Amino acid sequence: MNKNKPDNSKSLACVFCRKNDDCPNKYGEKKTYEKWNFSVHYYCLLMSSGIWQRGKEEEGVYGFLVEDIKKEVNRASKLKCTVCKKNGASIGCVVPQCKRSYHFPCGLQKECIFQFTDNFASFCWKHRPVQAITSKYRDSLPCTICLEFIEPIPSYNILQSPCCKNAWFHRDCLQVQAINAGVYFFRCTLCNNTDIFQKEMLRMGIHIPEKDASWELEENAYEELLQSHDRCDVRRCHCKEGRDYNEPNSKWEVKRCHCCGSSGTHLACSSLQSCEQNWECLDCRRISYNPDFRKASKHPLANSTNVTVTDCLLEESSPKLPRQSPGAQHKELLRQGNKFRRDISTILVELGAQIKKKAKRLYINKASVWKSALEQFQSQRFNPSCTIEVVYVNENEKFGREHPGSKQEFLSHLMQHLETSPLFEGPLSKNLTLNSQALKENLYYEAGKMLAISLVHGGPAPGFFSETLFNCLAYGPENTLPILDDVSDFDVAQIIIKINTAANLNSLNSVINECYSYLEVIGCLRLITTLSDKYMLVKDILFYHVIKRVQAPFESFKQGLKTLGVLEKIQTYPEVFYNILCHKPENLSAKILSDLFTVQGLPDVQTLRFWNSYLQAIEDGKSATTMEDILIFATGCSSIPPAGFKPSPSIECLHIDFPVGNKCNNCLALPITNTYKEFQENMDFAIKDALRLEKEEESRSLPWTLKDTSNEEMLL
């Protein structure tokens, strides 16, 4: 058997389908054999009805003897394709009463099913197997591979997982993944089930090649595993040298998680006394708290009692055995994966394209930012897709003068008010509360709308979502598992801790009897027969208290986030939005701020040198002013918005006594001075004085007046 040449591969058509296409993803690998002067697609050969694999693997073509191939081509030449009406239809429907014959590409076009297992049966478009749906879904759901939204209705191109009823896939996505993963790694993307999942996918016509995964065959694919982790990964790193700084035998030595070793912390950042003290990262602590995850059963590749998919592929003798498919599709899988690795600023800029040039003026009272913003957003004349212009008004002034305001400053104040509002609970990572008055006034919806508007219109991100709240938004409450940190109610947390720490069955029943009324009210009473039942009870309580109890506020908040298409983007690119919704921005550095501001007008070399020295002095802790203070003074924001500043921040050098910040234009005017000391003193005085006045004005703002109605009695 000779090796195939690329030129011949393109010139010779497949002897069965008569197509020149070399598309391994659709038709299997195309081979050209000079010795016999023909080309053949692997799938066309494999699915032909009148040929069997009688030779060894190294004989003929994939084990099919050449004389058998010629006989099959001759047989097919007398059969007309039901689709294209041309001769050479080598594949027939397996249903005895059906007389349809077709070429393999024509069968794909008409959405026939080809089963790459057992006797390699094919089913025409009238008799193909279908999936029965067990429940109806009203909303679109994402394909769990490419994350694009699809209608959850089983069809030829849309398949449902047999083991996870809320997992849906594009057929093309599944086929690419199967080719790259192979029989040993192709499994359900949600629950990792192999046996049931592969059996159903083979039934529905997905080809699962008998080979190792393509990523296992890459050279140096796991080289990074040989490198130790030396970086601080805690939410707030206090090291001035940065997260990558590691000084042994000091408080800035990096300690790795003793469970996974793939996360680290500076000793000082996690209040560790010495490097001998054990430390667990957040993910490992969650797994430790939920023992059910540690005891998850593994799915074997073969089962000795039941006939599984792997039995069929590896052990059963079959007249046709699928051979390894080429690894070229790995690039296609990477392409589909990279499709969703988007930059957050790019996504928000795309959403911002729907904002119209027509401006909507918002009249905001700084003494009651939340109240006046709520009035403006609830107005029937407000359109979130219009450009926002902010005007500050003071009701206490006699003449009611209006002052132009910064949109970014207003949105920044609004996010701060929202974070401290009674709509959310928790110290740093917050979840939704249950407040009947806020629900009645539709405030959860307005809060979601405000967040969406802030992101798209160039304001800051909230940065205070708990991971549980984010997962509910991105993946759905049914796919989210709350943790103890999500419980802000002290009494409920104590009940969970008592149940979880019960050492024996008697003490567990004692705790349940003690809180019997509470468990009965929330519907979490269950029959306890073994000590391990406590883990399911804890799960039930957590799910009720954190998710089910706040279902109405969550749905309202979710509807608000749909404003300007933000929620859809969160669900499409969850890994990108996670960073800005759940984490505060990184601390500003001298370099970041220096690069952020561009020089306008005629530059003064000495003043610019003073400016850079001033930034460095702040970073070294030699000034009472902070980087955030400078940014607030110039733009009204304490951090760089995810969508970036518009217009871009700028500095100019002027003959003035003190610096001036123009928040509407994001411009900072620097004073031209004779000495650096004078420059620093003038900068410190003006910035700190301006911020002091702003804080005094904010302290006079109206507080929230909503009454807390989150008790279980109010719920019932």
Show which residues are catalytic.
664
What is the CB-side half-sphere exposure of residue 172 using CA atoms within 13 A?
A: 9
**Cβ–Cβ under 8 Å, residues 189 and 144:** yes
- 484 by DSSP, 3-state: which? helix
Instruction: Give the closest residue to 67 by CA, choosing from 105, 99, 38, 104.
Output: 38
**Cβ–Cβ under 8 Å, residues 563 and 453:** yes
AA identity, residue 694: E
Instruction: Give the closest residue to 543 by CA, choosing from 483, 471, 492.
Output: 483
Strands 650-654 and 598-599: parallel
CA-based angle 348:352:355, to the nearest 5?
A: 160
Alpha-carbon gap, residue 423 to 527, rounded angstroms: 35
Alpha-carbon gap, residue 316 to 546, rounded angstroms: 50
**Cβ–Cβ under 8 Å, residues 637 and 412:** yes
Burial (0-12, 13-18, 19+ Cβ within 10 Å), 399: exposed
- Look up residue 225 and give its DSSP letter: G
Non-local CB neighbours of 209 within 8 Å, separated by 6+ positions:
178, 179, 182, 183, 322, 323, 324, 325
Overall residue count recorded for the chain in this entry: 716
**Cβ–Cβ under 8 Å, residues 588 and 580:** no
Instruction: Give the closest residue to 640 by CA, choosing from 593, 600, 684, 697.
Output: 593
- 642 by DSSP, 3-state: which? coil
**Cβ–Cβ under 8 Å, residues 199 and 309:** yes
Bridge partners of 458? none
- Look up residue 387 and give its DSSP letter: E
Alpha-carbon gap, residue 634 to 616, rounded angstroms: 18
AA identity, residue 472: C
